[in-house]
Amino acid sequence: MKTTQKIKAIAEKVYQTILKKKQPELKMPLRSLNNVKYDPKDGYFELVGKMKERTLTASTIKTFAQTLKMMALSKSIVETNDIATKREAYYVSKNWGEARFKEQPESDTVMDDVEAMMMVNREQIGFVPEEKGGDIAGKLVVVDKDQDTGKQLKIDCTKMGSGAYSIPSSVEHLKFETNAKFILAIETAGMFQRLVKHNYWKKANCILVSMGGVPTRACRRFIRRLADEKKLPVYVFTDGDPYGFGSIYRTLKVGSGNAAHINQYFCVPQAKFIGITPQDIIDYKLPTHPLKEVDLKKIKDLIKNDPFIQHHKSWQKALQQMAKMKVRAEQQALAKWGLNFVISDYLPKKLKNEKSWLP
Amino acid sequence: MSNGQVHAKELAKKHREISVAEFFEKNRHLLGFDNPRKALLTTVKEAVDNALDACEEARILPEISVEIIQLSESRFKLILEDNGPGIIKAQISKIFAKLLYGSKFHKLSQSRGQQGIGISAAVLYSQLTTGKPTTITTKTDKNKKAHQSQLKIDTQTNNPEILNEQEIDWEEKDHGTKIEMELEGHYFKGKQSVDQYLKETAIVNPHTTIIYTNPLAEQIIFPRATDELPVEPVEIKPHPYGVELGMLIKMLQNTAGKTLQAFLIHDFSRVGPNTAKEICENSSLLPNSKPKTISREMAEQLYNGIIKTKIIAPPTNCLSPITADALEKGLRKEINAEFYTSVTRPPSVYRGNPFQIECALAYGGEQEKDQTIHLLRFANRVPLIYQPGGCAITQAVQQIAWNPYGLSQSRKALPVGPCTIVVHMASVWVPFTSEAKEALASYPEILKELKLAIRECGRKLGLFINKKKRLHAESKKRSYIETYIPYISEALHELLKIKKDEQEKINQLLYQILEKQRGILEKIEIDNPDYDEDLAKIGNEKEEFSLEEELVTPKTKPQETQPPKINKKDKQTTLIK
């Protein structure tokens, strides 16, 4: 079914319910960690079916109206073949009188709810994010189209010099050409810079991706498509801290609770963790920072509530070890052993020794 | 002769008997004549009490005319006229000019007057402040002439002094009594004024018509609201528990009973042969002793014997309550509120005296929110105006914790909130803290009943306030929900291209669905057809109006000879001159 038809069908149901003098409602999947399960066969967080409901109650009436208005906005965008950024959609809502959004996170939430209700990706309902998808350098040719002529456009990521290719917000139309051996996804732009500067991709015959924190949907989708189509292994290199493990790596690999409805396409189940582990902190005698209260809380929370961590004993052990050590280490701490220690020693050793990885 | 003896003799010369009247002359505050303001009110109050008692006793629907005329800056004339049974000639002077002469002191029956002081005290006050006599005109029968007399009290002997006496024609009246007296006073409006007193009297005596002309020559008529006289209170004999030793001795002397047993049976209520025997046994006295031979010591034995004996409580059918409904209706006339409630407690007994408490309460509406509640006190249908602090009713209200009932209250104070509470005590003997009859004494039994009655109203108030809070929260929620209904129909219009008029229909349907879902929202508002705006104003005037104060300025001028006239208009013209 086309997006507009889907939207209309939902609206029609609301309309008919009202005509029957019954309380209208909108049901949508609850987007949170306690509404997902992890099955390694599928490789991503799947919804388990809890729904949230919006209807004529004091606590839900506003979002009920806002959801319908957001659907109306989406329909008009799709019908005119246009797009709106999340922020633009937020500004459009300023015309909605009392139903307007006060802050953008509110409108983002309602937008995600519309997505989840229709089980589609936000691009399909006409909305695009502001954020960059991430940077690429290395042995990859991205095949895109010229925005005016529609002519094929080949972007060679080996020819970006000291810069990089930027992943667009929508990646479905891209095609890839590569003979690289693997993809290396890196947490920080700083580490990415170092690897680019020293042409690490040339030595290792790989594609470098800078995620810049938690990978965006576009970034995840890009890596997923590339890895699937070219059958490439994916390695993830993050800081040794609960955020790097639980937010960045976990989201890349299996998706998030918040985007549970689209995880299926926006995750990279084949990803492996080659970032700084608590054991690495000991083995490499890395300089550390003490864990803060929030870090300890995050560790506890991951062990207790995260279906992915719960499934993997080795992750629980690593997290418990970190909680005991009460310290964390950044990936750039490797510079203690020389600025290019990461290139000459750490990465080659890591990639060779599968036992030092985490699932 | 020693010095001591000389002094004793000289002192003995100075000692002499003081009459009640003389005592009062020096202690007028005890009877409520402390200052000119209060004196005017007390005088009116005593005269009105007397008139109402007389009418009710004769089962006549009272119609009372009260006229106060200002004669000079601080001198007033009171003319009070009733349609009572009138007074026979022999009693006129005693009733009005002998203190402690009355029909009510020796019997137990619910009435306004109790001790025979009131009206004669007013006569005495008039005499003391003006030197003038009081004129009484009274007529007992259509076919008889009226009797008019001018009276004074001989303060040394407490005996009436008749200055002038004559038979006159009094055509307009079949029967009734008219009192005319001059007195020093001070007239004002607002709280504790004569106006307020008469209004409250009218409210708790709905069977009465009062025609009142105040010193501003404003005539206010409080018309009768019902033609039904209150249930006639039944006279009862004293209950043994309520009699003190001195009274007991006096009763022994005056009894017609030949034996102690007969005395106990005939002169007390709730004493039968068995109880009488038991009392005698408990007092170690022979049932056939002659009452007149009982000595003081023996009387004390008897007194203690009574305490030891179990005697059933006095009959309570002797009381005539206002009734909760009538009390509440009076409140409705006076106050536009959102909520009214009232309760009449079953009769109870203190010290052998039956009594009954009634309470009514009005909350919200046009009442002040941030002030202490308004408390109206009544005893035997008489408003209690002064001494609220010393009154058991006030104490009962203060001792109740009001916060759970939804009124704020600092520790042991009157609560704060838009609330008026009316409390009435009916009793064959109302225990006042003083002869001025301004405040109820706080006997534990009375305090307990007061609290039970007021608490019951309080509980109902609490339920109402909770409901009001709930409704308020619900109405807030609902209007919040309703805010978003137009956006739903607007979105449906955009999504499904439904037409504008259909969009309006969707709104209406959504409002209906909401109502069905959440129930019809009950509205709390003032719904009070009984309200009487003019009545409500009386006694609640913000600025206290005083003739005397206005006259302060002209007083300094030389031409002070002519006393200002009664009428406000006239007075203004004199000022302009």
- B74 and B122: one domain? yes
Could you report the per-residue pLDDT of B494-548, keeping only the tens digit for each? 999 888 888 899 999 999 998 888 887 777 777 777 888 777 777 777 644 444 4
Q: Which helix (H) or strand (E) holds B379?
A: strand B374-379
Amino acid making up residue A127: F
Q: What is the pTM of this model?
A: 0.69
Beta strands in B288-347 (DSSP E): 339-344
Test A69 with B506 for CB contact under 8 angstroms. Answer: no
Provide, as residue numbers in chain B, all residues whose Cβ is less than 8 Å from the Cβ of A69: 487, 490-491, 494
Tokens of A198: 């020293």
Overall residue count recorded for chain B in this entry? 577
Highest mean pLDDT among A117-121, A191-195, B332-336: A191-195
Nearby residues of B547 by Cβ (< 8 Å), 6 or more positions away = B70, B73, B187, B215, B216, B571
Q: Is residue B536 part of a domain?
A: no
Provide, as residue numbers in chain A, all residues whose Cβ is less than 8 Å from the Cβ of B480: 58, 61
CATH assignment at residue A283? 3.40.1360.10
Q: Is A22 on the interface with B (CB under 8 A)?
A: yes
Query: Where does the pLDDT of residue A257 fall: very low under 50, low under 70, confident under 90, or very high at 90 and above?
Result: confident
Q: Is A23 on the interface with B (CB under 8 A)?
A: yes
Q: Is the pLDDT of residue B238 over 90?
A: no
Helix (H, G, I), strand (E, B) or coil at A292: coil
Q: What percent of chain A has pLDDT over 70?
A: 100
Closest CA to A330 of A194, A126, A142: A194
Q: Is residue B191 part of a domain?
A: yes
Closest CA to A207 of A275, A160, A252, A254: A160
| Catalytic member of A91, A235, A249, A346 | A91
Test A62 with B490 for CB contact under 8 angstroms. Answer: no
Q: For A122-126, what is the mean pLDDT? A: 85
Identify the pLDDT of residue A74.
93
The nearest alpha carbon in chain B to A68 belongs to B491
Q: Is the pLDDT of residue B550 over 50?
A: no
Torsion of Cα atoms, B345 then B350 then B352 then B355, to 10°: -30
Closest CA to B311 of B336, B276, B259: B276
Closest CA to B391 of B453, B436, B346, B427: B436
Q: Is A11 on the interface with B (CB under 8 A)?
A: yes
Query: Where does the pLDDT of residue B421 fall: very low under 50, low under 70, confident under 90, or very high at 90 and above?
Result: very high
Test A56 with B481 for CB contact under 8 angstroms. Answer: yes
Identify the pLDDT of residue B162.
85
- A97 and A22: one domain? yes
Cβ atoms of A64 and B490 within 8 Å: the answer is no
- B245 and B373: one domain? no
- B181 and B217: one domain? yes
CATH assignment at residue B298? 1.10.8.50
- B100 and B123: one domain? yes
Test A21 with B481 for CB contact under 8 angstroms. Answer: no
Output Rg (C-alpha) for chain B, integer angstroms: 30
When scoring A6, A22, A68 by the number of chain B Cβ atoms within 10 A, the one with the most, hence best to mutate, is A68
CATH assignment at residue B36? 3.30.565.10
Q: What percent of chain B has pLDDT over 70?
A: 88
Q: Is residue B366 part of a domain?
A: yes
- A144 and A70: one domain? no
- A179 and A299: one domain? yes
Q: Can you tell me the distance from the alpha carbon of B576 to that of A200, in angstroms, rounded to the nearest whole number? A: 112
Provide, as residue numbers in chain B, all residues whose Cβ is less than 8 Å from the Cβ of A93: none
Q: Can you tell me the distance from the alpha carbon of A54 to that of A105, in angstroms, rounded to the nearest whole number? A: 18
What residues make up the domain containing A170? 135-356
Provide, as residue numbers in chain B, all residues whose Cβ is less than 8 Å from the Cβ of A14: 488, 492
**In the Cβ-directed half-sphere of A233, how many Cα atoms lie within 13 Å?**
11
Provide, as residue numbers in chain B, all residues whose Cβ is less than 8 Å from the Cβ of A61: 480-481, 484
What residues make up the domain containing B268? 240-308
Catalytic residue at A165?
Answer: no
- B287 and B402: one domain? no
Identify the pLDDT of residue B349.
85
Identify the pLDDT of residue B564.
40
Q: Is the pLDDT of residue B559 over 60?
A: no
Identify the pLDDT of residue B24.
72
- B271 and B376: one domain? no
Could you report the per-residue pLDDT of A136-174, keeping only the tens digit for each? 999 999 999 988 888 999 999 999 888 899 998 888 889
Per-residue buried b or exposed e for A162-178, using 16+ beta carbons within 10 Å of the residue's own CB = eebbebebbbeebebeb
Residue A217 Cα, gap to closest chain B Cα (Å) = 28
Q: Is A14 on the interface with B (CB under 8 A)?
A: yes
Q: What is the DSSP letter of A246?
A: I
Q: Which of A209-213, B333-337, B558-562 has the least mean pLDDT?
A: B558-562
Provide, as residue numbers in chain A, all residues whose Cβ is less than 8 Å from the Cβ of B487: 65-66, 68-69, 96-99
Q: Which of B477, B485, B495 sits opposite A7 (nearest CB)?
A: B495
- A289 and A322: one domain? yes
Q: Which of A8, A57, A68 sits opposite B491 (nearest CB)?
A: A68
Q: Count of CB atoms within 10 A of residue A115's CB?
A: 24
- Edge-to-edge, what's the strand order for the sheet holding A141-145? A152-156, A141-145, A175-177
Test B495 with A11 for CB contact under 8 angstroms. Answer: yes
Q: Can you tell me the distance from the alpha carbon of A21 to that of B358, in angstroms, rounded to the nearest whole number? A: 51
Tokens 């009094």 — which residue? B170
CATH assignment at residue B394? 3.30.230.10
Q: For A241-251, what is the mean pLDDT? A: 93
- A168 and A86: one domain? no
Closest CA to A126 of A65, A177, A77: A77
Provide, as residue numbers in chain B, all residues whose Cβ is less than 8 Å from the Cβ of A98: 483-484, 487
Cβ atoms of B424 and B327 within 8 Å: the answer is yes
Average pLDDT, chain A: 90
Nearby residues of B136 by Cβ (< 8 Å), 6 or more positions away = B87, B92, B96, B148, B149, B150, B151, B177, B178, B179, B180
Q: Can you tell me the distance from the alpha carbon of A318 to that of A282, in angstroms, rounded to the nearest whole number? A: 12
The nearest alpha carbon in chain A to B480 belongs to A58
Provide, as residue numbers in chain A, all residues whose Cβ is less than 8 Å from the Cβ of B498: 15
Domain boundary among B248, B283, B308: B308
Test B513 with A18 for CB contact under 8 angstroms. Answer: yes
Provide, as residue numbers in chain B, all residues whose Cβ is less than 8 Å from the Cβ of A79: none
Q: For A82-101, what is the mean pLDDT? A: 92
Residue B509 Cα, gap to closest chain A Cα (Å) = 6
Q: What share of chain B is helix, strand, coil (3-state, %, to 5)?
A: 40, 20, 40
- B249 and B366: one domain? no
Looking at the 3D structure of chain A, how many domains does it have?
A: 2
Tokens of A128: 């695009």
Average pLDDT, chain B: 84
Overall residue count recorded for chain A in this entry? 359
Interface list for A 220-249 with B (CB within 8 A)? none
Identify the burial level of B15 via C-beta atoms within 10 angstroms of its C-beta, where 0-12 means exposed, 13-18 middle and 19 or more buried. Answer: exposed
B391 — phi, psi (to 5°)?
Answer: -100, 140
Output Rg (C-alpha) for chain A, integer angstroms: 22
Q: Can you tell me the distance from the alpha carbon of B199 to that of B210, in angstroms, rounded to the nearest whole number? A: 9
Q: Which of B484, B498, B513 sits opposite A98 (nearest CB)?
A: B484
A206 — phi, psi (to 5°)?
Answer: -140, 180
Q: For B403-420, what is the mean pLDDT? A: 91
Q: Which of A12, A18, A61 sits opposite B484 (nearest CB)?
A: A61
- A266 and A300: one domain? yes
Q: Is A99 on the interface with B (CB under 8 A)?
A: yes
Interface list for A 50-69 with B (CB within 8 A)? 56-58, 61-62, 64-66, 68-69
Provide, as residue numbers in chain B, all residues whose Cβ is less than 8 Å from the Cβ of A96: 487
Test A58 with B514 for CB contact under 8 angstroms. Answer: no
- A162 and A27: one domain? no
Test A65 with B510 for CB contact under 8 angstroms. Answer: no
- A68 and A205: one domain? no
Q: Please give the full DSSP string across B61-85, using - where no structure is assigned.
A: --EEEEEEEEEETTEEEEEEEE-S-
- A290 and A177: one domain? yes
- B298 and B332: one domain? no
Q: Is the pLDDT of residue B567 over 80?
A: no
Provide, as residue numbers in chain A, all residues whose Cβ is less than 8 Å from the Cβ of B488: 14, 24, 64-65, 68
Tokens 């009157």 — which residue? B414
Q: Which of A70-79, A262-271, B40-49, B433-442 has the least mean pLDDT?
A: B433-442
- A124 and A139: one domain? no
Q: Which of A2-11, B1-10, B123-132 has the least mean pLDDT?
A: B1-10
Test A56 with B477 for CB contact under 8 angstroms. Answer: no
- B330 and B294: one domain? no
Provide, as residue numbers in chain A, all residues whose Cβ is less than 8 Å from the Cβ of B479: none
Closest CA to B80 of B212, B197, B243: B212
Residue B494 Cα, gap to closest chain A Cα (Å) = 6
User: Which residues of B sit within 8 Å Cβ distance of A?
Assistant: 477, 480-481, 483-485, 487-488, 490-492, 494-496, 498, 506, 509-510, 512-514, 516-517
Residue B522 Cα, gap to closest chain A Cα (Å) = 18
Q: Which of B477, B484, B517 sits opposite A99 (nearest CB)?
A: B484
Nearby residues of B573 by Cβ (< 8 Å), 6 or more positions away = none
Identify the burial level of A95 via C-beta atoms within 10 angstroms of its C-beta, where 0-12 means exposed, 13-18 middle and 19 or more buried. Answer: exposed
Q: Is residue B543 part of a domain?
A: no
Q: Is residue B544 part of a domain?
A: no
Domain boundary among A80, A100, A128: A128
- A149 and A81: one domain? no
Test B496 with A8 for CB contact under 8 angstroms. Answer: yes
Could you report the per-residue pLDDT of B79-100, keeping only the tens digit for each? 999 999 988 888 887 777 676 5
Looking at the 3D structure of chain B, how many domains does it have?
A: 3
Q: Which long-range contacts (CB under 8 A, 24 or more apart) does A209-213 make?
A: A209/A134, A209/A135, A209/A136, A209/A183, A209/A184, A209/A185, A210/A134, A210/A135, A210/A136, A210/A164, A210/A186, A211/A134, A211/A185, A211/A186, A211/A187, A211/A248, A211/A252, A212/A132, A212/A134, A212/A135, A212/A187, A212/A188, A213/A187, A213/A248
Could you report the per-residue pLDDT of B3-26, keeping only the tens digit for each? 666 677 776 666 666 666 677 777
- Interface predicted TM-score of the whole assembly (ipTM), two decimals: 0.80
Test B487 with A18 for CB contact under 8 angstroms. Answer: no
- B186 and B291: one domain? no
- A32 and A178: one domain? no
Could you report the per-residue pLDDT of B337-353, keeping only the tens digit for each? 899 999 999 888 888 78
Domain boundary among A128, A146, A170: A128
Tokens of A228: 């699937």
- B99 and B166: one domain? yes
When scoring B498, B513, B521 by the number of chain A Cβ atoms within 10 A, the one with the most, hence best to mutate, is B513
Residue A20 Cα, gap to closest chain B Cα (Å) = 9
Query: Where does the pLDDT of residue B107 fall: very low under 50, low under 70, confident under 90, or very high at 90 and above?
Result: low
Closest CA to A255 of A35, A28, A27: A35
Domain boundary among A106, A128, A150: A128
Q: Which helix (H) or strand (E) holds B160?
A: strand B159-168
- Between the alpha carbon of residue B135 and those of residues A98, B36, B92, B176, B177, the distances in Å are 78, 21, 11, 14, 10
* Residue A1 C-alpha from the chain's centroid: 26
- B210 and B247: one domain? no
DSSP H stretches of helix in B159-244: 194-204
Q: Can you tell me the distance from the alpha carbon of B273 to that of B572, in angstroms, rounded to the nearest whole number? A: 74
Amino acid making up residue B186: H
When scoring B476, B478, B484, B490 by the number of chain A Cβ atoms within 10 A, the one with the most, hence best to mutate, is B484
